[in-house]
Amino acid sequence: MVSVGTVILMLPIATEAPGSASFIEALFTATSAVCIVGLIVVSTPDYWSTFGEVVIMGLFQVGGFGIMTMSSLLVVLVSRRMNLRSRLTTAAETKSLGLGDVRRVVTGVAKLSITFEVTVMVILTTRLIVGHDESFGRALYLGTFHAVSAFNNAGFSLYNDSLEGFVNDPLVLLPIAIAAICGGIGFPVLLEMRRQFWKPRGWSLHTKLTVSMTVLLLVLGSAFIMASEWRNDETLGPLSLAGKFLNGFFHGAMPRSTGFNSLDVEQMTEATWLGTDVLMFIGAGSAGTGGGIKVTTFALLFFVIYSELRGEPHVNIFDRQISSRVQRQALTVALLTVALVVIPTVFILFVTDLFSLDRVLFEVISAACTVGLSTGITADLPAGIQGLLVVLMFVGRLGPITLGTALALRQRTRLYELPEGRPIIG
């Protein structure tokens, strides 16, 4: 996928100007699109021709679709194996994951994607014609591109300033935010919510956790962004009260791996960057188009600590017990992601002193958690470090899913048990 995309983007026809894109430009853009990250080294509208733009849209549509399908199938695989081993105890839980065969997953994902993308496309196209004086053809093109980009959490935009031009237009920002949140919440949850939206008591633990954490993070994230940017003359400052809430919400939602921006990220305060770092690290829901360690992983770690502080023998969430294996999986995913962020950050600061920690950390988390927000340094990085970001985007995209699945499927048994050891903790 990435290599095909790279080759196509290197064709002379893909660029606006005569001549063709360099290898690293094409590779970076193709990886960013396929892994639905959204970081860019060249301007999407200026550098690429319409042909190039359509190729990029194709790449992130196929990338998003592929990732949602593949991770959902892996979930089915895991739940099947689970059933064989412990059918009784987990039967209640796996009903949300009994999606049937490959075809059903593929058609399910396709139906959902099309529904969301077409709806948002229609809204955006209409709005661009009515409110922004675009011709029908141009509005349709822009609407389609951004609708697909939003649901797949790609974050690619056909405007050089992303969505900053729509800072006061809720009819553009809200549909995009909602599509992005729904795409990021994950296929298993969407499926279950479609089936029984009005019976939250019957939801599976996974759905309950994902939905409640998503709402909580949106509220807290938006409140934080609003508080830290409220008086910033370059961002929220000049906006009306409604505008402040709209864009605070938008930027509270975008770190959940979407990566559009309606405010200038480079002008935000360091506190906002760091808060956004935390939100990007947590990311979105499992088996969706979002990245990060996933909200369920984060919630689980939170409940592990809570149970430990209360001295509970088990970790219980929503009247379900979490096995110590699942706790270990969550810990492993979270700490390996920490390593995936810290090691490249130290490495980049080590080899170049062009940029400060806050910007480098932001960029690395944005790449590894496939978000695509940027403080504006990506294009200025040396090609070697852009190459490192390509690797990060790839590992960040496939790593946690593959890892989570592999961990869940893998199970060794030991024929003997060792005596217990108790090192001192803390």
Tell me which residues in 293-312 interact with a copy of itself (CB under 8 A).
293-294, 296-297, 299-301, 304-305, 307-312
CB-nearer residue toward a copy of itself: 133 or 350? 350
Closest approach, Cβ 116 to a copy of itself, in A, equals: 21
Closest CA to 222 of 256, 188, 179: 256
User: Is 259 near K ion (CB under 5 A)?
Assistant: yes
Report, in Å, the least distance between residue 267 CB and a copy of itself: 12
Which residues touch 42 (CB under 8 Å, ≥6 apart)?
A: 21, 25, 29, 48, 379
Q: Are 33 and 65 in contact (CB under 8 A)?
A: no
- The footprint of K ion on residues 361-380 (CB under 5 A) is 372
The C-alpha atoms of residue 202 and residue 205 are separated, in whole angstroms, by: 9
Nearest CA to 59 out of 117, 142, 145 is that of 145
52 is an interface residue for K ion by CB under 5 A: no
374 binds a copy of itself (CB under 8 A): no
**Binding to a copy of itself, residues 176-195 (CB under 8 A):** 186, 188
Neighbours of 413 (CB within 10 A): 4
Distance in angstroms (rounded) separating the CA atoms of residues 224 and 218: 10
Over the window 375 to 404, marking each residue x when it contacts K ion by CB under 5 A and - when it does not, the resulting string is ------------------------------
Minimum distance from CB of 148 to K ion (Å)?
12
405 binds, among K ion, a copy of itself, none (CB under 5 to 8 A by kind): a copy of itself
Cβ atoms of 58 and 144 closer than 8 Å = no
Binding mask 58-97 for a copy of itself (x = CB under 8 A): -----------------x--xx--x---x--xx-xxx---
Give the other-Cβ count within 10 Å of 189's Cβ: 25
**Which residue lies nearer to a copy of itself by CB, 137 or 421?**
421
Residues in the chain, how many?
426
Does position 212 bind a copy of itself by CB under 8 A?
Answer: no
